[in-house]
Amino acid sequence: MKNVLLLGGTGFVGSHLCEKLTRQGWHVTVATRRAANASHVQMLPGLQVAVGDVHDPATLERLLAEHDAVVNLIAILHGDETSFAKAHVALPQALARACTASGVKRLVHISALGVNDRQPDAAPSMYLRSKGRGEAALKAAAHSSALALTVLRPSVIYGDGDQFLNLFARLQRVFPFMPLAGAQARFQPVWVEDVAEAVLRCLQQPATIGLTYNAVGPDILTLKQLVQLAAQAGGVNHGRGRPVLALPAGLGRLQAWLMECAPGAPLMSRDNLDSMKVDNVAGDTLPGLSDLGLTPASVLAIAPTYLGRSHHHGTLNGLRQSARR
């Protein structure tokens, strides 16, 4: 039996990955600062919860002990330079050192589409720059040690319980129209189940070691089209959705700034807009999900299965079957 440590295992992708790994007989350890955060996965067979701060090097090394592999899913979408550097650069650097110290040789790292690990400082946003630096640090560590690294670069991830299409559907149930910054930014959204399956296959297939994969779906859509899809699939305004008003750049940045000032996590930030200056599509020659033996699901098929009112209780297997029809 393989033993794997998940960093970020209580999150959106991590929860789906926990289910897949335990079904395949893996022994999974989910690291979390508070045990309550893992309440939705802790009853899975073969899964244990380990409480600790993964940003503490000594704790990280302790958590890694007696594991065969580690998956790093930790990421943030909002913050300042310091918080992005802590999550996306310092943690991967510490993880590489802890792997060496504890003897863990296998690492799957979730990066982001649009990252340039060779010239990370050329990226337009703090998010992409920090993601690129962290990925570069891990690849440098793998080059100089026995660390067996695989990197996945997903586009925006959607699925039942997401904070992407669900959010846009909820907003359009409240507002008569949608003012939208970055409306023409392009995305290649990928289903959370496909990302989780890709991680599993990377862990299972030694041939993936040393490679970087784009994790994207088959559809390329603008943000405006995705917002419209969310409303239509969610039955907003009898399936017609709401008018979407594309904001010019200046007003879009003002809207993002106002959202940053609101209490709680912002719905959109100026750094998010900066990230959208780079189309979130697979425009390079890196291998993709098909190279892992996967046929990625279409957002056009999956979104109605969980945004539509009559489909809220569908199973994950049912969603996959409907996507393949």
CB-facing half-sphere around the CA of 187: CA atoms within 13 A: 23
Which of these, 184, 175, 168, 163, lies nearest to 277 by C-alpha position? 184
Distance, in Å, from the CA atom of 307 to the CA atom of 229, rounded to the nearest integer, reads 10
**Res. 183: pLDDT tops 90:** yes
| β-sheet bridge partners, residue 107 | 70, 149
The mean pLDDT value of the chain amounts to: 93
| β-sheet bridge partners, residue 121 | none
pLDDT, residue 313, reads 38
Measured in degrees and rounded to the nearest 5, phi and psi for residue 180 equal -135, 120
Interval 30-72: pLDDT, tens? 999 999 999 999 999 999 999 999 999 999 999 999 999 999 9
Average pLDDT of 157-175?
94
Q: What 3-state DSSP class applies to 48? A: strand
Distance, in Å, from the CA atom of 91 to the CA atom of 82, rounded to the nearest integer, reads 12
Written as six digits, the tokens of 315 are 């199973």
pLDDT, residue 320, reads 41
**Res. 319: pLDDT tops 70:** no
* Inter-helix orientation angle 223-233/299-307, to 10°: 40
Interval 120-154: pLDDT, tens? 999 999 999 999 999 999 999 999 998 999 999 99
Q: What 3-state DSSP class applies to 269? A: coil
Q: CA separation (Å) from 255 to 174, 208, 250?
A: 18, 42, 9
**What letter does residue 25 receive in the DSSP assignment?**
T
Measured in degrees and rounded to the nearest 5, phi and psi for residue 181 equal -85, 150
Q: Answer for the pair 42, 10: CB distance below 8 angstroms, yes or no.
A: no
pLDDT, residue 308, reads 81
pLDDT, residue 1, reads 54
| β-sheet bridge partners, residue 191 | 158
